[in-house]
Structure 1
Amino acid sequence: MDRAERWRRDLDAWAIPDEIIAAAPENPWGHLVSRFGRRTDTALAQPAGPTLDRARESMPAANARFPGSVLDVGAGTGAASLPLRPTELIAVDESAAMLAELSQRAAALEVPVRAIEGRWPDVAGDVPVADVAVCAHVVFNVPDLVEFFTALTAHARRRVVVELPERHPTSWLNPLWEHFHGLRRPTTPTADDAAAIARELGYGVNVERHLAPEPRYSSIEEMAASACRRLCLDPARAGEVAQAARDLGVWPPDRTRWVTMWWDVPA
């Protein structure tokens, strides 16, 4: 089995059993726009770190007034792109609500933005090429990384920069899944697997590991509410989840380790 097929198989193993999904009070895979917005505001207040630095250094002009264009795939509210203050931002995301938040922040920063709602690479044919393509915290939602990376690279003139956690973003919940559902969750794939797939495509992949700039949650209450949704539990069980998280060592959490990988696009 090749790496790309193994990646797809390993991601499939993260599916939640149908009987648990059927009893879920809300979508366990949903995202809160407010949490994404908080991450973006942190990035705007402190516009540094490996991902932003690797993107910024490849922009075509040193003049801050004309820094070049950026394509942000899975843009969310713009944490990986707005701090770059590009001449043009092309933002692709499946969520209209995320794009609306991004557009509001872009307007306040006077960053021209073209928002494209849809899934990458399904909408790639409607997306122009940019100087730099960035993609943050999307890869673990992508079954076909070969198609995804190929389209991303085809839409960058200079560099592709990808940020992702070292392991699946819900790995921290694994002890709680076993506690509440008796379900053992996977441990693969990893960021190293994603980098290996990109290298097999012929890209000169560079990798830098670093800590997330802020804790995953600001309080145990916020964590417990999120965990209830992810675990398909009634929100009324948040107190029980909080206690289990303490008992199992899930809380307080370690700072998440992230990976930035990047490759230059041949002229």
Structure 2
Amino acid sequence: MDASSWDAALDAWRPPAPPESAPAREAALQTALTDDADATGSPSFDRARRALTDGAAVLDVGCGAGRASVALAADAPGAALVGVDPSAALLEAFAARARGASVPVRTVLGSWPEAAARTPSADVVVCHHVLYYAASLVPFARALTDRARRRVVVEIPWEHPHAWMRPLRAALGEPDRPDPPTAPGAARVLRGLGLRVRIQEWTDDADPWCGRAGALARHVGDRLGSTDTDRVRALLDEYGLPPRGRRMATLWWPPP
């Protein structure tokens, strides 16, 4: 798969506009703001931590409330942290979480890669669960690489996070889509740029929707362009979805 094919597959899997209803956006924001979990113990955390020394700098692109990076920076004595995100509310939560962990922090409001010019370089650049929402893979990844002195670490699902909804699309009469973009496909594209990308597959057993059936139905309905959340909820029960235990990928590479 080349870069244009990966981007075309990504475009085919984008949710209908608007991507989320107002209640779903608010629910997602509140979930992110109140989520106090972190990535400690994951392969992504491990790959990033190995490249950090005391006093290093960490850059988190699409930082949200800091799940990917605050515990990481706190684990390296003297490390400083920079977060980039298009949400001012999430940046506030990110900064508060970092200060609570006694980590020096700076925030940059904006989308990537547009915000790259206003963002300092760091020893390690992390980016979790953002790549499938980038406008284009190559400029996004190049900007990550340009800001890294030692390593870039990207975490994404093994295949597009909406791929599991295919049976629901068929049941709702939606036209099928081409094969979704995948983490191995992204790795091949990036290796074509001369980057020494490595990839590790692993399983995330956490269930972010546990006890939140209504929120899940709204989330899926938004992605499928359906306002009939009762029908969506019934289909989720019928098909036993979403799957438990997500296939994940950690990709990492040094700058050239």
Alignment partner of 2:118 out of 106, 122, 126:
126
Deviation at 1:221, TM superposition (A): 3.2
Deviation at 1:14, TM superposition (A): 1.9
Secondary structure of the residue that 1:43 maps to in structure 2?
Answer: coil
Letter in 2 for 1:112: P
Q: Which runs of 5+ in 1 are unaligned?
A: none
Task: Give the match for residue 214 of structure 2.
Answer: 221
Deviation at 1:60, TM superposition (A): 2.2
Cα contact 2:15–2:224 (8 A) shared by 1: no
Task: Give the match for residue 249 of structure 2.
Answer: 259
Q: Please tell me whether residue 180 in structure 1 is matched to residue 172 in structure 2.
A: yes
Q: Distance in 2 between the 1:195 and 1:203 partners?
A: 9
Counterparts of 1:205-216 in structure 2, within 5 Å, are 205-216=197-208
Task: Give the match for residue 28 of structure 2.
Answer: 32
Deviation at 1:137, TM superposition (A): 0.6
Q: Please tell me whether residue 247 in structure 1 is matched to residue 243 in structure 2.
A: no
Task: Give the match for residue 144 of structure 2.
Answer: 152
Q: What is the TM-score of this pair, normalised by structure 1?
A: 0.85
Cα contact 1:25–1:232 (8 A) shared by 2: no
Task: Give the match for residue 99 of structure 1.
Answer: 91
Cα separation, partners in 2 of 1:29 and 1:173, compared to 1, 3 Å: farther
Deviation at 1:229, TM superposition (A): 3.0
> 1:66-114 CA distances to partner (integer Å, 9 max, x unpaired)?
3x11011111111110111262111011111221221121121121211
Letter in 1 for 2:179: T
Q: Distance in 2 between the 1:206 and 1:25 partners?
A: 33
Q: What is the TM-score of this pair, normalised by structure 2?
A: 0.88
Letter in 2 for 1:55: A
Secondary structure of the residue that 1:159 maps to in structure 2?
Answer: strand
Deviation at 1:28, TM superposition (A): 9.8
Alignment partner of 1:170 out of 158, 162, 167:
162
Q: Please tell me whether residue 196 in structure 1 is matched to residue 188 in structure 2.
A: yes
Aligned length: 250
Counterparts of 1:41-120 in structure 2, within 5 Å, are 41-43=36-38, 47-61=40-54, 66=55, 68-84=56-72, 85=74, 87-120=79-112
% identical equivalent positions? 36
Secondary structure of the residue that 1:105 maps to in structure 2?
Answer: helix
Q: Distance in 1 between the 2:210 and 2:178 partners?
A: 26
Cα contact 2:153–2:252 (8 A) shared by 1: yes
Cα contact 2:15–2:222 (8 A) shared by 1: no
Q: Which runs of 5+ in 2 are unaligned?
A: none
Q: Distance in 2 between the 1:25 and 1:13 partners?
A: 17
Q: Distance in 2 between the 1:162 and 1:28 partners?
A: 29
